[in-house]
Amino acid sequence: MCPFFCGAQSLADRARVLAGKTASSVHEASVSFEQHNISSLKDKDFSSAVGAFRDELQRRGVKILASGAGAKVTLTVSRDVTTYLGVAKIERGASEEVLFEWLGSVIDAAPGEVPSAVALHRELLFAQETPMLDVVMDADGKRADAMGLGEINTHELQDGYWVLTATESVPAQVAADREMRGFLNFGMDALAVYSPGEVCRFSARDQKGWSCESYRRQMPVRGVPEELLAGKKLGDWHSAARFEHDGRASVVVTAKDGLARLYGDGPEVVAVFRGWGSEIASIRSGCGMGWQVLKTSPGDWTVPDTVEAVEIQNGAARGVSLLVDFAGPVVALHAFATRGADSGSENKGVLAIVHNLQSGNYEAYRLTVSCGN
Amino acid sequence: MELQAGKISLDPREWKEGSTEAAREEKLAGLIFERLVGLDNYGRFQGELATEWSHDAGFKRWQFVLRSGVKFSDGAVLNAADVVAALQPLLPGAQQINASGGGVVIQSGAAMPDLLEELASGRFFVYRVQADGALIGTGPFLVAGAADTIGERGAASGWTETAGTSAQRGGGAKLTHMRFRANEMAWSGRPFVDAIDVTVGVLPLRALFDLQLGKADLVEMSPDLVRRAAQENLRVWASAPVTLYGLRFDDAQAAASDAKLREAVARSLDPQTIAGVLLQKQAEPASALLPQWLSGYAFLFTMETNVERAKEIRAALPGNAAGGAEPLRLRVDAAGDVAKLLGERVAVNARQSSILIQIQNRAGQRVGATSSSGDAELAAGLHLFAWRYSSLAPRVELESFAAAMNVGDAAGAVSSSDPEQLYARERHILDERRVVPLVVVPEFVGIGSNVRDWMPARWGEWRLADVWLEAPEAIPTVSMPGGSTPASSRTSVSGAKP
């Protein structure tokens, strides 16, 4: 634990505090120095802490020598269940003294970094600690509304950084579903939040606030009109993506039995694909066949995911991009949405929401396709 | 699911702190009960029955806002009075809990900076006691039934179907089988699986076979079988080291009160070899009472092994101190084969320093003695114990250990979570050498090949509500008549996340 709210100070600040304690205890003018990292702190952050510690020690008049010093100071960054712990051990011959300082919560770890046929590109938009199910952006791309469990978080781009600026509770009546699915729809002056079994609406016009009601139908899918799914023998399905070829629309649907099924004009399945993950969305790139379906890999939520672009022709699916890796499972793929636009701007990309297994954060990515590798 | 336990009590008030049985019971209780807060795998506190919390500047008064609309399994709405009634008997005497507005307040005369860690672990579940004494909870599962015998071919008999709301309570009834079914009304969402069948009292080797044959999806695994399981390509999960094996000196035998003898015994032990060879690297040598992952400073304690020094000390002691006429009697208090192995190894190590240790079984008789030998119950000067860590607050765990082992001056108990004070306290206890840590051992779980989303906490908390089972691969068909869905779509999802 970090009881005295060390979160208000940076890691380097806390390292300086520890250095100050150490300097007060070190009576010698010079010491030899060692450092060890036995925590999950990343190398870059550890180096920053060590640098701050050494600088402060020297600022307080303690010289650090390679050898020949009267005492030895060993700085170790360790951790317990929730917090990084700085430990400075001062050894003088057979005697030793140990000093401690909390350095910060382990949740301060940075989210997974973005490393920076058709080529599939990803762009990290923002991250948040709490679960995220869907995102709608403003047309200028400087504001995003992220649907979570019973809340909507607003993020704004300020000085090049995304900042969480507001959280609005959605008074859902139905308990959250473990499958973590949701759909956010912004109209001109109204908002609808879809969760499994319920829809909550807010209208700016009538000023009545939120109203929630039971919703037993299949949750809407951005970019897939209801009429495209009407009359088809779908079964219990999870995700859908549409694409067009030779002027004809087709739809692919992933089902809870782990198979993806292709439908054409009629009600029957025309092809079955195996080895797909449950999340799919399509993008109209204008490259290759013009449309690609982005699919995740099969697996559960304990393993990192990949996304691949495929093209479907004559009932066969063919991968047309390299796999894009993520630091955790993709919990949702949606056609990218902007406020006030039609249901899914198919050439604005695909939204991928990822649960970063290293940091625990939920990250929103925009996936786009460009022609050629 | 198969567990090694012989008896189970789902009543947190009955659990014995530090016992492996309590850890097991806590896992099952976590199916039907919930806490105010939890800790996720990223070190973040997550609201469970509480949605918000705050404290005063001195950490002496904490306020928790309760989640609204949470229901017990009988449909009754959870309220603050329920939380008070459940937690007050479980909290240390110095902590008082009261209902306040829509929530509860926990107060103490001493600062409680680690209260969240305390409440997020161990026995601090919220339950309601029914008129018949049964306990009900708000968790993702309900107790659906229990049986007390296993008939032929492992079928449970004497099956008692409950009303679907009760937890077994009272005295740790010797159950062989329990069934938990999904709580459709759980605020956190219905679990993916429909039910969990738990068989207890399963011998380790039998559990391994059942896992191999697909008759069990999750089994407790003993450390000595882990390597074999790996060779069989079985999935095995290991927690952080959560059980400490060590020695405790007992003045019931006069020799144990000799500080020099205690030092000689401590220095004669070889935890490195015990962990690396005897336990086949399925354990870690321990030089501290709290493990590194819990305290963050265990690395500061070093091993004392020094056989030559042990011999010197022993040579300076009277000949009859732990000698042939009056060996130091070691009682293996911990159950299981690991404890027996450790006890024997301790005796072997000590003999190298001319310290004679005689092992007693748990009934107080000399190992190998017959009932006709006339041995009275002989006081043991040494006990081999197993201590299962249960709290995520180092201070709470250390003081709980010290109290249970009757070591460390009670007046010197640490009241703050300051690591300097904790380290000093632990150092003081270890310097007395009334307890000597040996090894820390993880928990091992064998996982069936069709189990998905197994995401336990590394300190051993199982999170079974998120687990699902992959069905055998479906045979794909081009046309699906009538839009029908494969059976058991909740429990069986093939090749895709649900």
Taking each helix axis from N to C end, the angle separating B337-351 and B259-268, rounded to the nearest 10 degrees, works out to 110
Average pLDDT over residues A150-167: 93
CB B9 within 8 A of CB B170: yes
The answer to whether residue B174 scores a pLDDT higher than 60 is no
Domain assignment of residue B329, yes or no: yes
Contact B468 A258 (CB under 8 A): no
Question: Where are the strands (E) in A256-349, listed by range?
Answer: 260-263, 269-273, 280-284, 291-296, 306-313, 316-319, 324-325, 330-335
- Cα of B385 to nearest chain A Cα, Å: 24
Q: Find, among B167, B424, B440, B408, the residue nearest to B291 by Cα.
A: B440
Other Cβ atoms within 10 Å of B293 Cβ, number: 20
pLDDT band at B198 (very low <50, low <70, confident <90, very high): very high
> Which listed CATH number (2.60.40, 2.130.10, 3.90.1570, 1.10.10) goes with A118-371?
2.130.10
- Cβ contacts from A onto B, under 8 A: 169
Mutate to test the interface with A, among B37, B39, B42 (most CBs of A within 10 A): B42
Q: What is the pLDDT of residues B21-36, one digit of tens each?
A: 999 999 999 999 999 9
CA–CA distance, A91 with A87 (Å, rounded to integer): 13
Residue B165 has pLDDT above 60, yes or no: no
Domain match, B254 and B110 both = no
The pLDDT value given to residue A256:
83
- Taking 60 as the threshold, does the pLDDT of residue A113 lie above it? no
| pLDDT bracket for residue B126 (50, 70, 90) | very high
Looking at residue B277, what DSSP letter applies?
A: I
Query: What CATH number does residue B258 fall under?
Result: 3.10.105.10
In this predicted structure, what is the pLDDT of residue B72?
A: 95
Q: What is the pTM of this model?
A: 0.79
Q: Is the pLDDT of residue B491 over 50?
A: no
pLDDT digits (tens, 9 = 90+) for A225-252: 888 898 888 888 889 999 988 788 999 9
Decide if B476 contacts B265 (C-beta within 8 A).
no
pLDDT score recorded for residue A110: 35
pLDDT of residue A345: 52
**DSSP letters along B159-178, please?**
-EE--SSPBP-SS----SEE
Asked if the Cβ–Cβ distance from B485 to A301 is below 8 Å, we say: no
Average pLDDT over residues A263-271: 89
Domain range A6-108, its CATH number among 3.10.20, 1.10.3470, 1.20.120, 3.30.2300: 3.30.2300
Residues from chain B that touch A38, judged by Cβ atoms under 8 A, are 292, 299
- Chain A hits for B302, Cβ within 8 Å: none
Q: Is the pLDDT of residue B61 over 80?
A: yes
A28 confidence band (pLDDT: 50, 70, 90): low
Helix axes A43-59, A11-25, angle to 10 degrees: 40
Parts of chain A belonging to CATH 3.30.2300: 6-108
Asked if B474's CB is within 8 angstroms of A258's CB, the reply is yes
In a domain, B279, yes or no: yes
**Is B179 domain-assigned?**
no
Q: What is the CA radius of gyration of chain A?
A: 26
Q: Which residues contact A47 (CB under 8 A, 6 or more apart)?
A: none
pLDDT at position B373, please? 44
Q: Is A306 helix (H, G, I), strand (E, B) or coil?
A: strand
| Closest by Cβ to B466, choosing from A85, A178, A276 | A178
**In this complex, is the C-beta atom of B295 within 8 Å of any C-beta atom belonging to chain A?**
yes
Q: Where is pLDDT greater, at B208 or B152?
A: B208
* Partner-chain contact B459 A258, CB within 8 Å: no
Same domain, B255 and B401: yes
CA distance B190 to A176: 9
B497 in contact with A, Cβ within 8 Å: yes
Please give the mean pLDDT across all residues of chain B: 85
Q: Can you give the pLDDT at residue A189? A: 81
List chain A residues with CB under 8 Å of B453: 300-302
Residue B348 in any domain: the answer is: yes
What is the pLDDT at residue A341?
58
Contacts of B235 (CB under 8 A, 6+ apart): B446, B447, B448, B449, B451
Who among B44, B455, B492 is closest to A129 (CB)? B44
Confidence of residue A338 (pLDDT cuts 50, 70, 90): confident
Rounded mean pLDDT, B86-105: 94
Contact B497 A274 (CB under 8 A): no
B292 and A78 in contact by Cβ < 8 A? yes
Residue B189 contacts A, CB cutoff 8 Å: yes
Chain A environment of B489 (Cβ under 8 Å): 236, 256-257
**Out of A3, A80, A233, closest to residue B483 by CB:** A233
| Long-range Cβ contacts of A23-26 (<8 Å, 24+ apart) | A23/A56, A23/A57, A23/A60, A23/A61, A23/A62, A25/A90, A25/A97, A25/A99, A26/A57, A26/A62, A26/A71, A26/A73, A26/A90
Q: Is A82 close to B117, i.e. CB distance below 8 A?
A: yes
The Cα–Cα gap between A47 and A77 comes to: 11
Mean pLDDT for B276-281 is 90
For residue B324, name the pLDDT band (cuts at 50, 70, 90).
low
- B478 contacts A271? CB cut-off 8 A: yes
Query: B374-425 pLDDT, tens per residue?
Result: 445 688 999 999 999 999 999 999 999 999 999 988 888 888 889 999 999 9
Query: Between B170 and A302, where is the model more confident?
Result: A302
The percentage of chain B sitting over the pLDDT mark of 90, rounded to a whole number, equals 67
Q: Over range B85-112, report the average pLDDT.
A: 94
With CB atoms and an 8 Å threshold, state whether B39 touches A177: no
Residues of A in contact with B471 (CB under 8 A): 257
CA diameter of chain A: 86
Q: How confident is the model at residue A147 (pLDDT cuts 50, 70, 90)?
A: very high
User: What is the count of structural domains for chain B?
Assistant: 2
- pLDDT > 50? residue A281: yes
Closest CA to A129 of A145, A150, A108: A108
- Residue B454 to residue A302, Cβ atoms within 8 A: yes
Q: How confident is the model at residue A342 (pLDDT cuts 50, 70, 90)?
A: low
pLDDT of residue A299: 85
What percent of chain B has a predicted confidence (pLDDT) above 70? 85
| Nearest residue in chain A measured CA to CA from B486 | A257
Taking alpha carbons only, the member of A87, A85, A101, A95 closest to residue A28 is: A95
The b/e string for B3-16 (b: 16+ C-beta within 10 A; e otherwise) is: bbbebbbbbbeebe
Name the pLDDT band for B490 (thresholds 50, 70, 90). Answer: very low
| DSSP designation for A81 | S
pLDDT at residue B40 is higher than 70: yes
Domain enclosing residue B56, as ranges: 46-119
Q: Is residue B128 part of a domain?
A: no
The one-character DSSP state at B492 is: B
Closest alpha carbon within chain B to A80: B296
Smallest Cβ–Cβ distance between B480 and the set A178, A235, A301 belongs to A235
How far apart, in Å, are the Cα atoms of A369 and each of A38, A246, A279, A281, A352?
Answer: 41, 20, 17, 13, 13
Give contacts of B 192-231 with A, CB under 8 A: 192
Domain boundary among B422, B443, B464: B443
Q: Verify whether the Cβ–Cβ distance B41 to A76 is below 8 Å.
A: no
The answer on pLDDT for B163 being more than 50 is: no
Query: Which pLDDT score is estimated for B495?
Result: 30
Q: For residues B168-193, give the mean pLDDT.
A: 78
Interchain CB contact of B240 with A (< 8 Å): no
B229 and B446 in contact (C-beta within 8 Å)? yes
In degrees rounded to 5, what are phi and psi of residue A108?
-75, 0
Q: Please check whether residues B114 and B251 belong to one and the same domain.
A: no
Which of B100, B119, B138 is a domain's end point? B119
The model's confidence at residue A118, banded by pLDDT at 50, 70 and 90, is confident
The backbone region for A156, taken as left when phi is positive above 0, alpha when psi lies in -120 to 50, beta otherwise, is: beta
What is d(CA B52, CA B62) in angstroms, rounded to the nearest whole number?
11
What's the CATH number where B106 sits?
3.90.76.10
Dihedral (CA of B391, B392, B395, B398) sign? positive
Cβ separation B42–A238 shorter than 8 A:
no
Distance in angstroms (rounded) separating the CA atoms of residues B347 and B270: 11
Q: Do B477 and A272 touch (CB under 8 A)?
A: yes
What mean pLDDT is predicted for residues B44-50? 94
| Nearest chain B alpha carbon to A277 | B496
Nearest residue, CB atoms, A272 vs list B466, B478, B482: B478
The answer to whether the CB of A281 falls within 8 A of the CB of A294 is yes
**Residues of chain B contacting A91 with CB distance shorter than 8 Å:** none
Q: What are the chain B neighbours of A302 within 8 Å (beta carbons)?
A: 452-455
Q: In chain B, what's the furthest Cα-to-Cα distance?
A: 90
**Chain A contact present for B419, CB below 8 A:** yes
Residue type, B265: V
Residue B393 falls inside a structural domain? yes
> Poorest-confidence range of A96-105, A202-211, B305-314, B350-359?
A202-211
Q: Closest approach of chain A CAs to the CA of B442, in angstroms?
A: 16
d(CA B45, CA A135): 25
Question: Would you say residue A223 has pLDDT above 80?
Answer: yes
CB contact under 8 A, B293 and A129: no
CB contacts under 8 A, B 81-120 vs A, are 113-114, 116-117
Give the residue from A299, A248, A293, A252 showing the smallest Cα distance to A272. Answer: A252
Instruction: Tell me the per-residue pLDDT of B343-374, one tens digit each, with 9 for 90 and over.
Output: 999 999 999 999 999 998 665 445 544 444 44
Nearest to A301 among B293, B453, B492 (CB): B453
* Every domain range in chain A assigned CATH 2.130.10: 118-371
Query: Cα(A289)–Cα(A369) distance, rounded to whole angstroms?
Result: 12
Contact A257 B300 (CB under 8 A): no
Q: Which of A34, A257, A331, A359 to mutate to test the interface with B (most CBs of B within 10 A)?
A: A257
Task: Please tell me what DSSP assigns to residue B354.
Answer: T
Residue in chain B nearest A77 by alpha carbon: B296
Query: Residues A327-346: what's their mean pLDDT?
Result: 79
Contact B429, B412 (CB under 8 A): no
